[in-house]
Amino acid sequence: MPEQLYDLGGKRVWVAGDRGMVGSAIVRRLASEPCQIVRAPRGEVDLTRQDQTEAWMASARPQAVFLAAAKVGGIHANDTHPAEFLYQNMMIEANIIHAARRFGVEKLLFLGSSCIYPRMATQPITEDALLTGPLEPTNQWYAVAKIAGIKLCQAYRRQYGSDYISAMPTNLYGPGDNFDPVGSHVVPALLLKAHKAKLDRARYIDVWGSGRPLREFLHVDDLADGVVRLMTHYSGEDFVNVGAGYDLTIMELAELVCEVVGFSGAIRYDSSKPDGTPRKLLDVSRMRALGWAPKIDLRTGLKQTYEWFLEHPNEIRIPVHAAS
């Protein structure tokens, strides 16, 4: 079993982005660690602003930071808001990572994304595929910002000896997701479409693209468990993939979602919408060697996410988590 390298016991821990899907899952997971969570007052710290970020870090003095704050969205949001995805994500990362060094953070974990890899990377994708080929055009802006975040962690480690590490999660889903029909990722989008179609007794739902792309989906609670594992048991310049270990086609996902929701109509494919990357299955050997494995299978996770959605009818999350 790998040895523990960092003890969260008694530490002041800040989850940047703690109101987003990922950040709130990390906060839930940290409830079973003997640490103290520090939280910025709602809406009061704009992490794209260096002055506000530094003032918050100077007053809160976190010892460990999970950097889960980001501007996020699905394929359409990425494709149509390139400036926001590039600018906001670069600012958030640079402000927090720089402030972490200034204010003595002992350990920081940065969350990247599997879209950092070349569009045509060999599958399953190992971490050394980074920067070996051209990016997928629909999310290249987000990818470049996330690559900059990885490089910042590596650079601060090399130059200042800062213990900053990075995790590369695959496509995530779960409670607290953004269910905006246009800006969201595919899982919440299809849950919403199938749910509305069931209520309206519609004959079909529309699914974007050809249905042929393959995607890997990880429940956000499994991701949260993985990043806490990395925080406590990993230190190094190499970043680490976090994925489920298997993928399925969007067509198979759409069928599974309809089954979970109880919609028995047809599925139509809208070829005017982009497919994006044909496949991005992560190699998770490094993560498994650290003693982590996902526990929530896709069907169970989709059912649980649908139940969360039904219990939160008014909760439409905006896709910007820049405000902590």
Distance in Å, CB of 73 to ligand GFB, minimum: 7
Closer to ligand GFB at the Cβ: 56 or 173?
173
Kind of pairing, strands 248-249 and 214-215? antiparallel
Angle between helix 220-233 and helix 21-30 axes, rounded to 10 deg: 60
Closer to ligand GFB at the Cβ: 62 or 301?
301
Distance in Å, CB of 195 to ligand GFB, minimum: 13
Distance in Å, CB of 86 to ligand GFB, minimum: 11
Catalytic choice (6, 117, 142, 234): 142
How far apart, in whole angstroms, are the C-alpha atoms of residue 276 and residue 136?
7
Question: Could you tell me how many helices (H) and strands (E) the chain has, helices first?
Answer: 10, 12
Indicate if 142 belongs to the active site: yes
Closer to ligand GFB at the Cβ: 118 or 276?
276
How far apart, in whole angstroms, are the C-alpha atoms of residue 169 and residue 36?
25
Closer to ligand GFB at the Cβ: 62 or 211?
211
Coil, strand, or helix at residue 233? helix
CA distance readout (Å), 209 to 249, 251, 306:
11, 10, 23
Distance in Å, CB of 28 to ligand GFB, minimum: 21
Closer to ligand GFB at the Cβ: 5 or 251?
251
How far apart, in whole angstroms, are the C-alpha atoms of residue 174 and residue 21?
7
Contact residues for ligand GFB, defined by CB under 6 A: 74-76, 78, 113, 115, 138-139, 142, 171, 184-186, 189, 207-209, 213, 215, 250, 273-277
Reduced 3-state DSSP string for 50-110 = HHHHHHHHHHHCCCEEEECCCECCCHHHHHHCHHHHHHHHHHHHHHHHHHHHHCCCCEEEE
- Closest residue by Cα to residue 69 from 142, 141, 17: 17
Distance in Å, CB of 254 to ligand GFB, minimum: 7
Distance in Å, CB of 316 to ligand GFB, minimum: 15
DSSP 323: B
Structure tokens at 295: 């526990």
- The Cβ of residue 307 has, within 10 Å, a number of other Cβ atoms equal to 12
By annotation, the residues acting in catalysis are 142
